[in-house]
Structures are given as structure tokens and as C-alpha cells.
Chains A and B, each alone.
Chain A
Amino acid sequence: MTLALKVLLAGSALLWIAAPAGAKVLHGRFTVHYFSGPAHAEAGARCVVFTQTGTVAGFPDSGTWKAAKFGSGNFVVDGNVIRFYGTYDKDLKVINHQVDATTMTGSYDAWNRSAIPVTPADDGTLQVQAGCQ
């Protein structure tokens, strides 16, 4: 792989890509680490790809996200807070993430909607890192 290509790939993983008007735009690949329970034991990690569309619920910095073999949904950047939500496990479960855009830490909660009543599936804290391995 050439150096130029490596630089290009690294650049694509950046969280905030400066837009001409000064607005920040969430776009690219990020690793989301999930931590569960009071001891915050790492429960797993996913590579999430954010794609900017600017069309979600009136938020100019918004779009879709997708994690291969996991799930997908929408995201919005609301000031200093990133929210992304969607479904996973063949659409049987719903997951919400809320992330502080400065610290790139936050929390998540997941729900099993395969039967009524909807029941909690998981929850905990998370950390987001630019790029995926």
C-alpha cells in the first residue's frame, strides 16, 4: 500500500471533517467499544461506518450508520452530543447510543422487540475511536 493511500484511508476515519461554513460533519469509520456493568467490563467492539446525508429530523449534521454483521440506523449531531440509533440482530433488537463529541464517551441501551412487551437487552457505557482495525 502506498503512503498516499495510507494517508487517504487515515484521513477518511477522522471524526470531524471541517465543512466550508465551519460546521462539523460526522463521517467515516469508527470503532465503538461497549462496556457493561458497574465494573465497566468491555463487552465487545464494532466497526461503525457513518455516512453523511444531512436529512435526519432537521439536523444538518446527520445521516446513517452501518456496522457489518451487526446493524444499522440513523445518527444526528446535536451540538456537542452525537446520538445514533437503529436496529440489529436481524432487526429484532433496537439500540440507542449517546456520545459526548468532546470526550467521545457515552452510553448505550438496547432492547429486544421480538415480543410484546419490549424488554431490555443490554446497557452500559461506550468509547468511540476514529478508525477501524
Chain B
Amino acid sequence: MKKLLILALACAGFATGAEAKVFEGAYTVSYLTGPAHVFEGSVCVVFTHTGNVLGFADSGVWGANSFGEGGNFIVD
């Protein structure tokens, strides 16, 4: 059930209108390290569209509670 929920939320980045796509929703970010790309861990990141970062129409903020981090994003 949890997997289905994540999958559904991860689909939120698809087109919402007639024109631009909007990046938004919850995504699992998996981190792989070194030349062998060893799996290091994953974090659930929530992207929230605001459209006001550095002039980029598709942009906003992101946060990861378990990671204790957050910031801005842009789709260029």
C-alpha cells in the first residue's frame, strides 16, 4: 500500500495544463556512490511548485524530513 502511495504521488510531475509541465510531489531519491555505484541510501523528497525561483517558471522548494534538508529547485 505504501508503495502504491509513493507511486501515485510520484506521478504528480506530469502535465497539469495545456502547456508547461509542473514538477511537484513526492519522489524517492536513491544515492549511489563510488565507481561501483554502491547503493548508499534513499530519501523521500517532496517538491512544491512555486514558480518564483530565479525566473524559472517551473521551480519551487523541496524538503526531506528524514534528511533534515531542503532548498530550491528549478526545471531548466
Contacts and interface: CB of A to CB of B under 8 A. Distances in A.
Interface of A: 37-38, 57-60, 78, 107, 120, 123-125
Contacts of A125: 76
Between B35, B56, B57, B72, the greatest number of chain A beta carbons within 10 A of the residue's beta carbon is seen for: B35
B57 A60 contact: no
Contact of B57 (A38, A58, A78): A38
A60 B56 contact: no
A60 B71 contact: no
Contacts of B54: 37-38, 123
SS class, residues of chain A in contact with chain B: strand
Interface of B: 34-36, 54-57, 71-72, 74, 76
A38 B35 contact: no
Given A58-B36, A123-B54, A124-B76, 18 more contacts: A37-B54, A37-B55, A38-B55, A38-B56, A38-B57, A57-B34, A57-B35, A58-B34, A58-B35, A59-B34, A59-B35, A60-B35, A78-B35, A107-B76, A120-B71, A120-B72, A123-B74, A125-B76
A78 B36 CA distance: 9
